[in-house]
Amino acid sequence: MTELELQDVYPRLPEDLERLIFEQVAFECDPKDSMHLLIVAKRVHNWTRPILYRVFVQLDIRLFPNFMTNPSIKLDDVGRFPKHLIIKRPEDEIEALLSSCSNIYDLALWMGTAGPHAMSRFLPRIRDLPLTRLSTNLRNLTADQILDLPFSNLTHLDIIAFADSRWSSWAVLADLPKLSHMAIDFPVEDDVVSKLLIHCNNLKIMVLLFYDDEIIDCPGIEEIEDVRLVLMVAGTRLEMELDWIAGAYGRVDFWTTAEWFSEARKENLLLDSSQRWIKMKVDWENQLNDRGKEWFAN
């Protein structure tokens, strides 16, 4: 049966509506399941491929796309599609990904075997990306490097490690003009936190993301009442990876939770509005008062 004959039996939807349906399916499906869309028809392949490859996950055991098991997928071909990229791979693989993925605005560079010094090596590649969100190790960067691209364009910065505990080292972050969200993933001096809140003029949210056993080392942090400061207990490595992936796909991540909790504290929507440590996954039903539940439902 020819294509024209098939159209008589199965009339096609208007193309704009058909495209909208397939794109919506691509957005909502698990990426591995969505790969089946690529073989429906050539037009569907062209519509959905940029959506299916909008997030690249390149971790130790979690890979999408997996270029090793799917050699037909070429990085040079699909590298223009991703907007979000999380990497924890050897240096040569990181280099290849950063070179090929030129449209990334959300990057988690977690180094893996590359080591803490690798960030300086990759800066020339990263500088050319349209980054607004970055999660990485800043330990070996100079103040001049932090004041340059891509940092000067960042709105969200998740700091895995930093040079030292002195305010004189941290002060450079106050000069990042667009920084509205900052996360610190390790114990830091109360004084540094207070000064960052004072001097980072555009800061809306600061998250301290500590493990349980690190919290006891920072007893004074809970005395900082600023509602922009959210104290959060970090999850396992797997949970942190899944949290980043959730955010990349537009679902709730720790940034979203922090924004909600900060707003709820500010507007007295919580049963307990004191500064305290919360989990990454908040049981809102048992945290909010009646006004808060109405706010959350909307």
Highest mean pLDDT range out of 107-111, 138-142, 213-217, 256-260? 256-260
When comparing pLDDT for 28 and 210, which is higher? 210
Instruction: State the average pLDDT over residues 157-179.
Output: 93
The pLDDT mean for the chain works out to 86
| pLDDT of 6 above 50 | no
| pLDDT of 104 above 60 | yes
DSSP string for residues in 187-207? ---HHHHHHHHHH-TT--EEE
| pLDDT of 85 above 80 | yes
Contact at 8 Å (CB) between 93 and 85?
Answer: no
Confidence of residue 111 (pLDDT cuts 50, 70, 90): confident
When comparing pLDDT for 60 and 159, which is higher? 159
| pLDDT of 105 above 70 | yes
When comparing pLDDT for 252 and 213, which is higher? 252
| pLDDT of 44 above 80 | no
Residues in contact with 254: Cβ distance below 8 Å, sequence separation at least 6, in sequence order: 183, 207, 209, 232, 243, 247, 280
| pLDDT of 114 above 60 | no
User: CA–CA separation, 253 vs 248, rounded Å?
Assistant: 9
Contact at 8 Å (CB) between 104 and 129?
Answer: yes
Residue 116: predicted pLDDT: 56
The predicted model scores a pTM of 0.87
Residue 100: predicted pLDDT: 94
